[in-house]
Amino acid sequence: MAAVDLSTHPGHLARRLQQAHYLLWTTMVSEEITSPQYGVLNALMAEPGLDQRTVGERVGLDRSTVAEVVGRLGRRGLIEKVRDTEDGRRFSLRLTGEGAGVHRKLTVRTARMNHVFLAPLSEAEQAVFLDLLRRVSDAAEQLRSPVGVTGAGDGDAAHRPW
């Protein structure tokens, strides 16, 4: 069998894109705060008091990853857990003053990084690119709970969620 052209494989391109994003993130935004950690800070800036599960849903992180991210941000003093007065089992998450400051600083840096990241595209192409990424990402969310998804190589695309 001949080699395939990986430039036609979305997973290969997504991995390369992620590598480029990681490089830009660590050089232009932060070596200490990761992109998922920034996502959690941003979600809490937008909606203070969310619980951990909801934060994970807002930023597309699975339960174990959001638990790890929240733990790290808490240990760094950037977020705090507050026990819910109506449901003692539930904790609300809030940015600390330091967390809000870090969010502000990273938001400026992230805007600069995004400008560099998308520079090869015109403004119109950037809008289309982001729309396409959102659509594919939203559809891929169905893979988290793949009801009816069949095994690889079975050729039965009718049961796949997309």
Q: Which CATH number fits domain 23-143: 1.10.600.10, 2.40.50.100, 1.10.150.110, 1.10.10.10?
A: 1.10.10.10
Amino acid at 103: H
Give me the pLDDT at residue 159, please: 43
So where are the chain's domains? 23-143
Write out pLDDT tens, residues 14-57: 999 999 999 999 999 999 999 999 999 999 999 999 999 999 99
How would DSSP label each residue in 84-119? -SS-TT-EEEEE-HHHHHHHHHHHHHHHHHHHHHHT
**At 162, is the pLDDT very low, low, confident or very high (cuts 50, 70, 90)?**
very low
Rounded distance, CA 54 to CA 124, Å?
33
- Name the helix (H) or strand (E) containing 80: strand 79-83
pTM of the model: 0.83
- Contact status, residue 98 vs residue 78, Cβ threshold 8 Å: yes
- By residue count, the chain amounts to 162
